[in-house]
Amino acid sequence: MKNDQKQNQTTNLFSSPMHFYTLFTYFLLFSSGLVIGIAFSPYLKPLPFISNLNQLSNIPPPPPPLPNTSPTISNQTKSFERNFSFGSKENLKPPPNAMHDMEDKELMWRASMVPQIHQFPFKQRVPKIAFLFLARGDLPLAPLWEKFFEGHKGLYSIYVHSNPSFNGTVARDSVFYGRRVLSKKVEWGKFNMVEAERRLLANALLDFSNQRFVLLSESCIPLFNFSTIYSYLVGSTKTFVEAYDLPGPTGRGRYKHRLKPLITREQWLKGSQWFEMDRDLALEVISDQKYFLAFKRMCKSYSCYADEHYLPTFVSMRLGWRNSNKSLTWVDWSRGGHHPFRFNRQHVTIELLNKMRSGSHCEYNGERSNICFLFARKFLPSTLARLLLFAPKVMKFN
């Protein structure tokens, strides 16, 4: 009787649908765990027994993940790098204490960004003047500029573009320390001069406080003290890019007919490369692709001299109504030749400096003024001692 009951219970256990599915589910779970354990057994290692906290450092690291061999993901990654990368920087050699290692393509892209909300989300910054030094190597007149900048921290920024091969050092307490930008070779009369100017502008535009931009060389000097120059530039309603029409071989004669119809002969202008501009114009210059690339294609030889024609032509076509068509840098071309006169020690006198400072007449913000130049060139290194002597008396350095 008891055996019959046990047999009936066993029969009922397998005959009941609920019991059958329950057992089948357990069987599947057990089988799946067994298969997974066998598949990953090469990667499973027993953890050592930890009896002391010091043994935590002896635990072996987990095995590396399996390599991704999916060709689809690999191709997508390569496509992304090809379309969005700014290029390899493996061969890039920034100068000592360089500000960054961005190549031109990335630099121009970052510098061209403009906030769409004009109100600052923080306390309004004081506008600064960016002094852009385009130099061959060192700055022999740096002690004079040190005196000029002294006591005005926070009102200026400095950027120096030197020949990439130059490896000179700058004292840590100098205002020029750490102010070199990533540079490339620059040759007189070549288009790479324009590229260097744009490179300096782009670096300065990364600082939103910079509102005025002045291009200078290692042979330039200030003709007034910092306060006078700062007020003059920040208060100006115009930009200062020299632009004029010059008949003859050194003006219209350099025009390339292949620039038509983008630039006509009537739009082709000339001017000094030593400019001063505001932030709006600087953004236009570094963002320009159409005229910049046209000049780059056409001005590959010395017959074009793009540094004397690109900016005058471009600025006059784009924002001519806001430009004064004059430079703020005094230069002596009275002796003729391809280069301006170079001043040495015996040329530096109080009379010469006063002539540069107030010996001309021009217009400033719609009114007549005798302050037409704020800077001057070309001063040789031998002039430094006399310039330092006259600076407090003539230029009113503090």
Reported as a single tens digit per residue, the pLDDT across 139-177 is 999 999 999 999 999 999 999 999 988 888 889 999 999
Task: List, in order of start, the domains of the chain with CATH numbers.
Answer: 104-114+125-327 (3.90.550)
pLDDT the model gives residue 22:
54
Per-residue pLDDT, 358: 93
* Per-residue confidence (pLDDT) for residue 112, from 0 to 100: 62
pLDDT of residue 367: 95
Both tokens assigned to 379: 């001063």
Q: Which residues contact 343 (CB under 8 A, 6 or more apart)?
A: 332, 352, 378, 379, 380, 383
Query: Cβ distance 149 to 143 under 8 Å?
Result: no
Mean per-residue pLDDT for 331-351?
89
In whole angstroms, give the CA distance from residue 110 to residue 248. Answer: 40
Least trusted range by pLDDT, from 42-46, 100-104, 327-331: 42-46
Burial category of 317 from C-beta neighbours within 10 Å (exposed 0-12, middle 13-18, buried 19 and up): middle
SS3 content of the chain, % helix, strand, coil (to 5): 40, 10, 45
- Longest CA pairwise span in the chain (Å): 137
Handedness of CA 248, 249, 251, 252 (dihedral sign): positive
Distance between CA atoms of 200 and 194, rounded to whole angstroms?
10
Query: Which whole-number Å values give the CA distances from 54 to 46, 51, 220, 237, in the listed order?
Result: 18, 9, 67, 71
Looking at residue 54, its amino acid is: N
> Any residues with CB less than 8 A from the CB of 318 and at least 6 apart, and which?
284, 288
User: Chain centroid to CA 373: how far?
Assistant: 28
Cβ–Cβ under 8 Å, residues 361 and 321? no
pLDDT digits (tens, 9 = 90+) for 362-378: 999 999 999 999 999 99
Mean pLDDT of all residues belonging to the chain: 79
pLDDT of 379 strictly over 80: yes
Contact 126, 155 (CB under 8 A): yes
pLDDT per residue as tens digits for the range 251-282: 999 998 889 999 999 999 999 999 999 999 99
Please tell me the distance from the alpha carbon of residue 132 to that of residue 359, in angstroms, as a whole number. 26
- Which class for 214: exposed (0-12), middle (13-18), buried (19 or more C-beta within 10 A)? buried
* Residue 393 DSSP symbol: I
pLDDT of residue 105: 64
pTM, two decimal places: 0.74
Task: Enumerate the H helices of the chain as residue ranges.
Answer: 2-15, 17-39, 71-84, 104-111, 142-149, 192-205, 226-234, 279-287, 290-298, 310-319, 350-358, 384-390
Nearest alpha carbon to residue 181 among 153, 154, 152, 202? 202
Of residues 115 and 209, the one with the higher pLDDT is 209
Q: Which residue has the higher pLDDT, 24 or 211?
A: 211
Query: Burial of 128 by CB count in 10 Å (0-12 exposed, 13-18 middle, 19+ buried)?
Result: buried
Backbone angles phi and psi of 362, in degrees to 5: -155, -170
Kindly report the number of other CB atoms within 10 A of residue 337's CB atom: 7
Full DSSP string of 38-107 = HHTGGG--PPPP-SSGGGGGGSPPPPPPPP---HHHHHHHHHHHHHH-----TT--PPTT-S----HHHH
Phi, psi at residue 265, to the nearest 5°?
Answer: -65, -30
Q: Vertex 353, ends 347 and 358: CA angle to 5°?
A: 145
Confidence class for position 78, pLDDT limits 50, 70, 90: very low
201, pLDDT greater than 50: yes
- CA 157-159-160 angle, to 5 degrees, is 150
